[in-house]
Chains A and B, each alone.
Chain A
């Protein structure tokens, strides 16, 4: 079966750091993607992990542990524009399997 779990909603303050967790159980694994989706818009690519460890891209970092079926997205120096949904997606053979997304609310 395919199962991807993320928290439904998180809140944080501008300038803070937030970590969004994702756990997965899938029949195949070819990498894990994080997407950002603002309300009413299309998902946009943030990061990709296929090997264990941390990938850093500016204010955003993503971590993967394949043995634990676990990933997290770390957002530093939060800005108001980071208020959005963050989607964890596992690449399983030719397809992406998405979690339900985590809605992040950033307050002043």
Chain B
């Protein structure tokens, strides 16, 4: 009964370093999303994917890249980390029907600090 699993849970990086956040879901969901959550800003969409091999930009995509090589996995990459990317990152997944009442299911988050 894993649902949406994010790794790692915590990470501290130095400015300029790169890293990849992994999101895995076992619910056979078509759609997957990456958000960042900052105090007073709410959840903001970084990138999303509507199916294996497809990705699209969200509200705040700059400085991030993503890949969806397998349906169950969605990777978020930071090529050159900046202090402004210090945040809590959430992955979510959902079924694909636009009019469906199916909600997005969230992972537990990755707390990332950039020094």
Residues of A at the B interface (CB closer than 8 Å) are 30-31, 33, 35, 41-45, 48, 50, 87, 89, 91, 93-101
A94–B98 contact, CB under 8 A? Answer: yes
Contact of B45 (CB < 8 Å), options: A44, A50, A95: A95
Choose among B31, B41, B45, B108 the residue that contacts A42 (Cβ–Cβ < 8 A). Answer: B108
Q: A42-B90, A43-B106, A44-B106 are in contact. Are A98 and B42 (CB under 8 A)?
A: yes
Partner of B58, one of A87, A91, A95: A95
A100 partner residues in chain B, CB cutoff 8 A: 40-42
CB 8 Å contact bits of B47-66 with A (1 = contact, 0 = none) = 01010000000100000000
B64 to chain A, nearest CB (A): 16
Q: Is the CB of B42 within 8 A of A50?
A: no
Does B101 contact A50, Cβ atoms closer than 8 Å?
A: yes
Choose one: A30, A41, A93, A96; the contact of B104 (CB below 8 Å): A96
The answer to whether B98 and A93 have CB atoms under 8 Å apart is yes
10 sampled A-B residue pairs with Cβ under 8 A: A30-B99, A31-B99, A42-B106, A42-B107, A43-B43, A91-B98, A93-B98, A95-B45, A100-B41, A101-B42
User: When chains A and B are docked, how far (Å) is the Cα of A69 from the Cα of B41?
Assistant: 21
| Complex alpha-carbon distance, A45 and B4, angstroms | 14
Taken together as a complex, chains A and B put the C-alpha atoms of A33 and B101 apart, in Å, by 9
Q: Which 9 A-B pairs have the closest CB atoms?
A: A45-B103, A100-B42, A42-B106, A98-B43, A48-B101, A98-B42, A43-B106, A42-B108, A30-B98
- B31 nearest CB across to chain A (Å): 7
